[in-house]
Amino acid sequence: MDTSCAPQGPKLLGPSNSGRPKMPSFLRVPGAARVKNKRPSAVQITAEQILLEARDQRGTELRPPKRKIVDSEELAERRVRKRKEFEDMVRRAASPSVWLKYARWEESQRDMARSRSVFERALDTFAHRDHTLWLNYAEFEMRNRSVKHARNVWDRAVAVLPLVDQLWYKYIHMEELLGAVTNARQVFERWTRWARGPARRAGAAAWKSFVKFELRYGEVGRARDIYERLVREQPRPGAFVQYAKFEMKHGEVSRARRVYEQAMDVLDPEDEDAELLLLSFANFVETHKEVDRARAIYRFGLDRLPMAKTKELYSNYLAFEKMFGDQKRIEDTLMMKKRLLYEDEVTSNPLNYDGWFDYLRLEESLGNKDRIKEVYKRAVSNVPPAEEKRYWKRYIYIWIMRALFEEIDAQDVEQARAVYRDCLKQIPHRKFTFAKVWLMAAQFEIRQKNLKSARQILGNAIGMAPKGKIFKKYIEFEMQLGNIDRCRILYEKFIEWDPSNCYAWLKYAEMEKNLRETDRARTIFELAIAQPALDTPELLWKEYLNFEKDENELGRTRELYERLLDKTKHLKVWISYADFEASAGLRNEDTGCEKSKNAIKNQDSLMERVQRSRAVFERAFDYFSNSAPELQEEMSILLKEWLGKEISFGGIGDVSLVQSKTLRKVMRKRPIPTEEHCSRRFDELADGMVADEVGMTPKIMKAAYEWKKRKSGGFDTSQSLTDIPKWHDTAGVF
């Protein structure tokens, strides 16, 4: 059967003749064309050659055909069309350049009225502030010889824009070309009147041009009158220098000198041209061989002008002194060079307070008080950028140095008071303060015998930024004046501000103790130890115990020791308690007669003291044995003290009691673990303590008893316990 015409379905992908499967056309990715010949061409094409060929093949530019106007109707039609284009342009983008093109086109058509109308429309629309449009308008009138119209335009232009010097120059130039000198002078008068107002510095060109105008016509007297008006209305250094040079040029030396002297009377040191004036004056007098006068001018400028504006003046002065001065003057001038170096340093980095310190020391060594005050004022004006105390520590010392200078060197009390006041206002007391400044301000008022102001300053310090140092000095100040009630109030404020400060409690109680106010002092101590937190509670308890001992309140002292032991079981507390019991009731101030009368009574009380002291040691030993067995070192120290105390008791002391409580050293072996878990190595450990550790060798004990026997032949019960050597003293005998 013939199947050539039968419809065939899609062909299945199968192996091709080459053995590889065929890929559908829609899945094929175009690859790079194969290059058969990869050899370089014999003729290489460069970019320059391509550009040259492009320029040669460029055709002629297409230009619109030229049209020739043959009759008036066609000309009128073209003018209407052109005017419509300009009107559309100024309506779409009304810029001054479009209006100017419009007006010039009307001028080219010799239609002056229309051109003038275009200028007026432009000025009325928005461009009255554009001086270029005014200039073109006036030049348009001048080209067409409309003098009256030109004057009108110039008058309107300088009235609208009086600060544009070009309009005035062009206006005056037109009048000079016309030979109207009087009119030009009137224009200058109007210009200088504008220069007297807010634009006085910008109007310096008006006065200078006015003088040149008069000199062109030989009117020297008029020019001098103009300078007189200038220095009277604008007494600036630059104006005086110009006037003086004018007089020198015309040979009027006396007039020039008078001008310089007048300038020095009205000189403002802050003016930027002050240095120029002084240099000009110094060169003037130096030219006329007035050396002393020139030196005085240089010194005047260096003393009055700010240091940043005297670099050129100083260099000229140094050259002047090298030429005319002696060795001392040259050295003084070189010292001023250091001033310039410091000035550059503090100007480049005003927050470098070390540089300010060096600068101030230099100025103080030179001794010019006015300049020293100026440098201090500049230094304190550089406030640290951040309100952090570490940035203010160096800065605040500048204020302190300034206040001391005003008080001691300048002898200006009011100024020193103002410095302290300004310094305290400058410090941000809400974040941090400086107690030194408060105290120095108060001490300054005390030196001036103004106690009320001193109290006010210290009171403000306590109210705004309380500090412990301020409280201490304020209390000391009132104590010297004998104001006890004020001291009590201040101590209460001190304690209220910082109840954990043991210093305040101790000083308050000490004051009451010195005043023999025993109940007040005891109350203060009770309030102090009742505080939940204290910075040094051990000092407070110690002073309270000493206070009760001095008052011979044995019962209160024992009660205090018991209360202290409830809070802490420290070894020193136990030892102090035992020492107290051993010496309770002794009077070191008793005479020998009193001792003999009270010998029997003392013998009875001695046994009681020994028993009480021994009981304290017993309690301490029980505590360290049962409650704190790990404190072996404290146990050793306790036994040593106990042994020393028993030795000091003499015949009634029981050393065996301490010996029975000593522990023997017990040696035991502990296996050392190894990797095989079956170690044959052992380490020796010691538990307890030997008698030698507490100083109880038989030799020392025997020596102590023999020494005591040789000294007194027995123990004297009336002897004070303080006369009996401690156990460590007996060891040194042998």
Residue 577 lies in a domain: yes
Residue 576: partners with Cβ closer than 8 Å, 6 or more residues away: 545, 561
- 725 DSSP 8-state letter: P
Is there a contact between 695 and 640 (Cβ–Cβ < 8 Å)?
Answer: yes
Is 182 within a domain?
Answer: no
**Identity (one letter) of the amino acid at 19?**
G
- How many CB atoms neighbour CB 642 within 10 A? 26
Assess contact for 645 and 617: CB atoms under 8 A: yes
Burial code (b: 16+ CB inside 10 Å, e: under 16) for 478-517 equals: beeeeeeebbbebbebbbeebeebbbbbbbbbebbbeeeb
The string of pLDDT tens digits covering residues 627-667 is: 888 888 888 888 888 888 888 877 777 777 777 776 544 44
Q: What is residue 12's predicted lDDT score, i.e. its pLDDT? A: 36
pLDDT at residue 702 tops 70: no
Band of residue 447 on the pLDDT scale cut at 50, 70, 90 = very high
The C-alpha angle with vertex 696 and arms to 637 and 704, in degrees rounded to 5, equals 110
pLDDT (0 to 100) of residue 486: 92
pLDDT band at 520 (very low <50, low <70, confident <90, very high): very high
Q: Mean pLDDT throughout 529-539?
A: 88
Answer yes or no: is 253 within a domain: no
141 burial via Cβ count (<10 Å: 0-12, 13-18, 19+): buried
For 217-262, how does the pLDDT look when each residue is reduced to its tens digit (9 = 90+)? Answer: 889 999 999 889 888 888 888 889 999 999 898 888 889 999 998 8
pLDDT, residue 337, reads 72
Domain membership flag for residue 647? yes
Q: What is the pLDDT of residue 288?
A: 84
Of residues 68 and 505, the one with the higher pLDDT is 505
Q: Work out how many domains the chain is built from and give that number.
A: 1
Average pLDDT for 449-465:
91
Do the Cβ atoms of 526 and 493 come closer than 8 Å? no
| Dihedral angle sign, alpha carbons of residues 24, 30, 32, 35 | positive
Give the pLDDT band (50/70/90) at residue 128. confident
On whether residue 329 sits in a domain, the answer given is no
Q: Which amino acid is at 354?
A: D
| Strand, helix or coil for residue 685 | strand
Per-residue pLDDT of 593-632, as tens digits, reads 454 445 545 555 677 888 888 888 888 888 888 888 888 8
Report the run of H or E that residue 668 belongs to, with start and end.
strand 666-671
* pLDDT tens figures, 262-307: 888 888 888 888 888 888 888 888 888 888 888 888 888 877 787 7
User: Residue 721's pLDDT band (boundaries 50, 70, 90)?
Assistant: very low
Report the Cα 697 to chain-centroid distance in Å.
69
Please report, for residues 320, 357, 472, 516, the alpha-carbon distance to residue 337 in angstroms, rounded to integers and kept in the order given: 14, 17, 47, 67
Q: Is 619 inside a domain boundary?
A: yes
Q: Which residues, in sequence order, are CB contacts of 689 under 8 Å at separation 6+?
A: 632, 635, 636, 662, 663, 664, 665
Q: Average pLDDT in the 668-696 region? A: 50
**Is 637 a domain residue?**
yes
417 part of a folded domain: no
- Amino acid of residue 363: E
Q: Which structural domain, as residue segments, surrounds residue 631? A: 573-585+611-668
Element (H, E) at 307: none
| Residue-level pLDDT at 308 | 72
Instruction: Spell out a b/e string for 238-276, using b for 16 or more CB atoms within 10 Å of the CB, else e.
Output: bbbbbbbebbbeeebeeebbebbebbeeebeeebebbbb
> Per residue in 339-385, pLDDT tens?
778 888 888 888 989 999 988 998 888 788 888 999 999 999 999 98
CB-based burial of residue 54 (10 Å sphere; 0-12 exposed, 13-18 middle, 19+ buried)?
A: exposed
pLDDT for 406: 92
**Helical pair 413-426 and 369-380, crossing angle rounded to 10 deg:** 10
Instruction: Give pLDDT, residue 440.
Output: 93
Residue 318: predicted pLDDT = 74
First and final C-alpha spacing in the chain: 147
- Binned at pLDDT 50, 70 and 90, residue 676 comes out as low
What distances in angstroms separate CA 349 from CA 87, 231, 342, 345, one per listed residue?
Answer: 61, 38, 11, 6
Q: Is the Cβ–Cβ distance between 470 and 478 less than 8 Å?
A: no
Arithmetic mean of pLDDT over the chain: 79
